[in-house]
Amino acid sequence: MTTEPDDSKGLIMIVDDIPANLEVLSETLSTVGYDVAIATSGDRALKQIGRQFGRLVPELILLDIRMPDMNGFEVCEHLKSNPLTQDIPVIFMTALNDIDSKIKSFALGGVDYITKPFQYQEVIARIKTHLQLRRLTQDLEQEVNRQVISLQKAKLAAEEANLAKSQFLANISHELRTPLNAILGITEGLQDEVFGSINPKQNSVLQTIEQSGTHLLSLINDILDVAKIESGQLELNCIAVGIEPICTSSLEFIRPQAVKKSIYLRSYLPPNLPHLWIDELRIRQVLINLLTNAVKFTPNGGQVMLEVSTVKKDVSETAIVKEFLRISVKDTGIGIAPENISKLFKPFIQIDSALNRNYEGTGLGLSLVKRIVELHGGNVDLTSELGVGSCFTVEIPCVVSASASKLANKVGASSESTPTLDSEKTSSTEFSSPLILLAEDNETNIITISSYLEAIGYRLLFANNGKEAIAFAQKHHPDLILMDIQMPEMDGLEAIRQIRLDPELVNIPIIALTALAMADDRQRCLIAGANHYLSKPVKLKVLSQTIKDLLK
C-alpha cells in the first residue's frame, strides 16, 4: 500500500488519448503516493466512473481537452450534470493556450487547467491544492450539517420546553385561581347578604378581604401575562374602538384610590379622536397601570392628569409619515432619577429597597405596559424630575379605516353597565325558576356559585364530571349549563362537544367556566360549542347577568 506524505490516500483519474502522457503522469503521481486510474477516452472515463461509484470514486480528474469522439468539454458537461459526480474537481489539460478555451474550461465547472508540455512539480502542486480545498469543503459541509442537526434538535427541545411551559402556566393558573374564586365569590355573596344579614363592622372586614383578594388576583394576572409575553403566547384580540370610553373607565377605576389621598384627577380628551385597532382590555390595562402608579407615587393633595392628543411622525428612512395617538399620564409625584429610568421597564425590578418598603408592588406593571404597547406597534416614553413629577407617554399607531370607526361607534353606543344584585333578582314569574346544571368538581366552588344563584331564584342541579353532566343533561333537560373545563373522567370541552351532538340538547345555553388563562382558551371553548366563556375567579354579578342574557 502506498502512502503520501501530506494528504490521505486519494484516487486520481487521468483521461487522455495519448498513452505517453498517461504513462508519465501516472508514474509521477504514483511516486508521491496517489492511486491512479487511467482512461484513454471520454466515453471510457464515464463508464469507468459509473462502475466504480459506490466503491472507489476519483477525488480529482485530470481531463485532456482534445480527444476523438468526445472531447474534454463534453466529458465535463456529463460529469457536472450528474449529481453523483458534479462535485469531483476537474483540472483540464491542454496544449491550447487561447483565452476562449480557458474561459470555457471554467464556465463548464473546471477548477483549474494545466498546459502541455507539463511541468510535473506544478501538476503535483495544483492537484495537492485542489484536493485540500475539496477536503476542506467536505469538512465544512459536514460541520454545517452537524450544526443544522444540532439547531433542529435545539429547536425541537425549545418547542417541547415551550409546550411544557404553556402547560405549566395553564396548570398554575388553575391552581391559583380556583381558591381565589372561592375567596372572592363567598366574599361577594356575604357582602350581598346571600348567606344572611351582616353588620357594618363585618362588611368593612369583608371589603378588606375583597380588596386583598383582588390585589392578589391582579398580581397573579401580571405574572402570567409576563410569562405569556416572554414565551410569545400573548395574543391580542383587536377591535375597532374609540379611546374616550377606555380613558373614562380607567379614570373611574382609579378614582377611589385618588380620593383617599385627596389627589385631584384631571383629563383632557379632545373631540373627534380617531378610532384605533387595539385590544381594548389590554390598553385599559396599560392606562390603569400608569394611573395606579401615578396615584401611588404622588403625595397627598397632588395632581394626576390624563391627556390624549394625535401626532404625526416620520417612521422610516423614507420619511413615511404616520399618525399616532398619544396618551400622557402626568403626575406631581416623587419623580425618578435619570439613572433609574431604564430600570423601570424591566420585570420584577423596583428602583431601590426603600421604595419596596414604602410602596407595595411586584415591579411588573411598567414592564407589562411597555410590552403590551410594543405588541400594538407603539412605544412608551418617560420624562421625570426628582421632587417634581413624571410624565409617561404612550404612542399607538392610528390604523383604523372609516368603516371600522363607524362599527366601533355602534359597539360603544350599545354597551350597558352591569346592574346591581337587586336588579338581578330573578322572579319565578319571569323565568319560572329556571333549572341550571352546574358541572364542577371543586366543592368550594359549588357552594359559592350555588348559594348565590339559589339566593336570586334559580334551581340547581350538580354534576362532578363531564360524564355526569351529559347524563344529567339528557335526563333533566336544564335551561342552562355551567360547565367547568378541568374535571376528572371527562373534561368540560369533551362534555360540551357530546352535548352538542344530541339533537334534544343542542340548543341549551352553555357557559364555560375555567381557571385556565391561556390565549386560546376562550376560542377552544367556543369552538367546542359553548355560548359564552367566563374566566375564574368569576364575578357572581357578571355570571348572573350572563345567565339572564342567555335565558332571554
Residue whose cell numbers read 420585570? 347
Go through the chain and tell me how many residues it has. 552
Hey, what's the cell of 266?
A: 384631571
Q: Are 96 and 66 in contact (CB under 8 A)?
A: yes
User: What mean pLDDT comes out for the span 393-408?
Assistant: 63
Q: Measure the CA angle with vertex 105, ends 101 and 106; round to 5°.
A: 125
- Pairing between strand 239-241 and 276-278? antiparallel
> What's the confidence (pLDDT) of residue 84?
84
> What's the confidence (pLDDT) of residue 455?
84
- Pairing between strand 303-314 and 379-385? unpaired
Distance set, CA 435 to CA 455, 471, 524 (Å):
13, 15, 26
Distance set, CA 511 to CA 29, 263, 436, 525, 531 (Å):
85, 41, 11, 9, 6
The answer on pLDDT for 488 being more than 90 is: no
Amino acid at 450: S
d(CA 552, CA 549): 6
Q: Are 59 and 10 in contact (CB under 8 A)?
A: yes
Per the prediction, the chain carries an average pLDDT of 82
Q: Where are the alpha helices (DSSP H) in 300-442?
A: 353-358, 365-375, 402-413, 421-424, 428-431
pLDDT by residue (tens digit) across 524-539?
898 999 999 888 888 8
Residue 76 has φ and ψ, to the nearest 5°, of -65, -40
Q: Measure the CA angle with vertex 482, ends 477 and 486; round to 5°.
A: 120
DSSP state of 426: P
Hey, what's the cell of 364?
A: 411588573
CB atoms under 10 Å from CB of 280, counted, come to 21
User: What mean pLDDT comes out for the span 166-194?
Assistant: 78
d(CA 332, CA 334): 7
- Confidence bin at 315 (pLDDT 50/70/90): low
> What's the confidence (pLDDT) of residue 413?
37
pLDDT by residue (tens digit) across 18-66?
998 898 899 989 888 898 999 999 888 888 887 765 556 788 999 998 8
d(CA 94, CA 102): 9
> What's the confidence (pLDDT) of residue 521?
77
Q: Are 191 and 197 in contact (CB under 8 A)?
A: no
Q: How far is CA 372 from the centre of its chain?
A: 13
Model-level pTM greater than 0.85? no
Residue 183 has φ and ψ, to the nearest 5°, of -60, -50
- Cβ neighbors of 396 (< 8 A, separation 6 or more) are 276, 278, 283, 324, 325, 327, 373, 376, 377, 378
Q: Are 495 and 439 in contact (CB under 8 A)?
A: yes
For the chain, give percent helix, strand, coil, nearest 5.
Answer: 50, 20, 30
Strand partners, 481: 437, 510
| Strand segments (E) across 260-388 | 264-268, 276-278, 303-314, 321-331, 379-385
Q: Are 31 and 60 in contact (CB under 8 A)?
A: no
Contacts 24+ apart (CB under 8 A), 427-434: 427/457, 428/457, 431/457, 431/458, 431/479, 431/551, 433/457, 433/458, 433/459, 434/458, 434/459, 434/479, 434/480, 434/547, 434/551
Least confident of 16-25, 96-105, 110-119: 96-105
Of 167, 380, 361, nearest in space to 286 by CA: 380
pLDDT by residue (tens digit) across 246-296?
999 899 988 988 999 999 999 999 988 888 889 888 899 899 989 998 999
d(CA 461, CA 468): 11
